[in-house]
Amino acid sequence: MIQSGKSDKIKVLVVDDSAVVRQVLQAALSQDPALEVIGAAADPLFAMERMKRQWPDVIVLDVEMPRMDGITFLGQLMREHPTPVIICSTLTEKGAATTLQALAAGAVHVITKPTVGIRDFLLDSANDLIAAVKTAARANMSNLRRSSPPVHQVQAAAVPASAEAMLRTTERIVAMGTSTGGTQALETVLTALPRVCAPIAIVQHMPAMFTAAFAERLNGLCQIEVREAKDGDRLLPGLALIAPGGKHLKLVRQGAQYYAEVFDGPLVNRHRPSVDVLFRSASQVVGRNGIGIIMTGMGGDGARGLKLMRDAGATTMAQDEASCVVFGMPKEAIKLDAADRVGGFPEIVELIRQA
């Protein structure tokens, strides 16, 4: 029989085939008195036995394990007992594709770990891990249970924007920012857009190595073209550019044309890329012709930048609480009166279509 326990602490279960990782994660999480590590398992089968006795509030899960991989386990969880899951994945190109499958299947957040120096890395990242667990515990799992958008929104194959459309110039630019829960949110919005729409620049909080795979996945689902932004890319109708992990993205203007500038720089709001960096640049170079949209995510990155966009005359929107996985970033934007409208996915899609 599953016991929920009477403790107010957030109960965490660690599932990883590495004994070192299990030990370090337990030590790191136990530093915070608000968390209680109720156990650690070497693979999902051991985890399921442990969960029969006490169900966790959050699971920290590896993806590559013996007997049952993390993706299969995650899918089973989401079908039978939706539970917030944080993926703890090795930072490799192969791992990036697998981790994106996990996010699509309902994982809340990703913590990357290197192939060497894991102990020191995880100990140094303890604060970020603790914050991720606390955020995951508050996640609205009902908004993460679907693994893909409705069928009618997805084409069997991506249809590239016409050459004529790509040659046209528009002064309407959409800037979007999102974090926790954003991979599914962006998939829902972008797959609903027609192949010709206003240019879109996106910051999704995501580690390096993952954004290219994420953009490639979306490009295969969407009618519009989606790719990872490169320095000097021109923003064109029917094109969405996603900021590379570990790099900032801002907009620059040359005459009537807009370009992406991808660059290194210090963390902004503890993030790189930062939504505020993108929104701030949009307020400066796009002004009232801009559309700023802030979506699901923890923290307040993007709120001040969205306010700058609104003050510059741009149309601004915050995702509503009902459709967010984590109503953090939109909530902070609303507090600052940065959004002139609040809505869910249909309203966000319609706003972009009208542009």
By annotation, the residues acting in catalysis are 179, 205, 301
User: Which region, left, alpha or beta, applies to residue 306 given φ > 0 means left and ψ of -120 to 50 means alpha?
Assistant: alpha
- DSSP secondary structure letters along 2-52: -B--S--SEEEEEE-S-HHHHHHHHHHHTTSTTEEEEEEESSHHHHHHHHT
CA 194-239-106 angle, 5° bins? 75
In 3-state terms, what secondary structure has residue 175? strand
Distance CA 111, CA 321 (A): 25
Q: Are 225 and 109 in contact (CB under 8 A)?
A: no
Q: Are 307 and 337 in contact (CB under 8 A)?
A: yes
Q: What is the DSSP letter of 162?
A: P
What sign has the CA pseudo-torsion 56, 62, 67, 69? positive
Distance CA 1, CA 285 (A): 60
Whole-number Cα distances in Å, 347 to 41, 294, 330? 43, 13, 15
**Tokens (6 digits) for 211:** 């954004």
Q: Which contacts of 101-105 are long-range, i.e. CB under 8 A and separated by 24 or more positions?
A: 101/71, 102/61, 102/63, 102/70, 102/71, 102/74, 103/183, 103/184, 104/147, 104/148, 104/183, 104/184, 104/187, 104/217, 105/71, 105/74, 105/75, 105/78, 105/147
